A = this chain, B = another copy of it.
């Protein structure tokens, strides 16, 4: 007997037939003798519709700073819990729905982007021990003031992992519309391979660097609590990808995957007067304005007294970042050059720690295709480069071959 948390995303519960299909998958685990708790997302499309309605009525407010936004969008998951509980009972499996406030799933007070503080596992464990399936609303919780909160988009993955940790589950299965984690985006690289296993660290880099299969925060939490995570499709019967500890993976490839993101924008400041504290003077006001800066390069210019600064922000923040920089009086520069025509390509693998020459392979493969690298940043298990956006697909295919990741 294992204790399993099964999480089903929006497309997996996309209509009544699919909800019935999900009920059959849950029944199969129950029939196999396991204890199961289920976490569900809203039916695909519902959350977007509810968010649009909020925006229409809250013209002068940012709805995510407002508890009412949470009240509206949390209904998406609530509907799915009730419907799936009905479908489970219909197929002979005892079940009941649980909303965030009922368990409770306690969060901080940050409406629209709350963090889970604690989950009371006792009522769910009691129900599971009786052979009934708790169907838990993902994405939602209850704040310190007793009002509903939501975790931010994609938060249902985080709900599932947090629940698996609270229940000390043997496994957390994330059912989605793809059948696992791939070496890169298979829509772009036809020879992308599905990974059988990937480490938490690699999955975390993949998620933060643009692979959208899992929410970053959910991977962080799985890593912290050592929850084995399985990513698999609710539409096929293939085994999916296991996200796990490094020592559970027998044979490592040099690289696990290649991620990309088109959400970046680049800003270059030329001839910034070079003096101690200049980085703080430039980046302090951006941090104050809630603009996240990612990659940073600083070059000493020819005259030796000024420097050129290049860094990236998200495309959504670009306009705000430019305004903040132009308004600042704490430093001088010659020109400010914004560029949103960029993409970030990242190669990721724990094998990097023990193998030299990985960066060299990357630079060579890109150079051979005439792709210019604007910015480079590295960490222990990844190398990211910024290139012109139109080279994204070409770069992905070139690197996928160069690192021997192509399916045979």
Contact = CB atoms under 8 A, between A and B. Distances in A.
A97 B82 contact: no
B83 A53 contact: yes
Given A58-B89, A58-B90, A50 B79 contact: yes
Contacts of A74: 78
B68 A72 contact: no
Contact of A68 (B54, B67, B69, B96): B96
A335 to B, nearest CB: 41
Interface string A36-66: 0000000000000010011011111101001
> Which of under 10, 10 to 19, 20 to 34, or 35 or more describes the interface residues of A?
35 or more
A125 interface: no
Interface in A7-40: 16, 19-20
A276 interface: no
A215 interface: no
Nearest to A54: B86
A195 B68 CA distance: 39
Contact of A90 (B57, B70, B83, B97): B57
Nearest to A92: B60
A72 B96 CA distance: 12
A219 to B, nearest CB: 30
Contacts of A75: 75, 78-79
Contacts of A147: 102
A101 interface: yes
A20 B58 CA distance: 10
A146 interface: yes
Contacts of A101: 101
Interface in A244-263: none
Given A78-B75, A81-B71, A146-B102, A16 B90 contact: no
Contacts of A57: 16, 19-20, 83, 86-87, 90
A111 B118 CA distance: 30
Given A83-B53, A83-B54, A90 B72 contact: no
A86 B68 contact: yes
A234 to B, nearest CB: 16
A71 B78 contact: yes
Given A68-B85, A70-B82, A74-B78, 14 more contacts: A16-B57, A50-B79, A53-B83, A54-B83, A58-B90, A59-B90, A61-B90, A71-B85, A71-B97, A71-B99, A72-B82, A75-B79, A102-B146, A102-B147
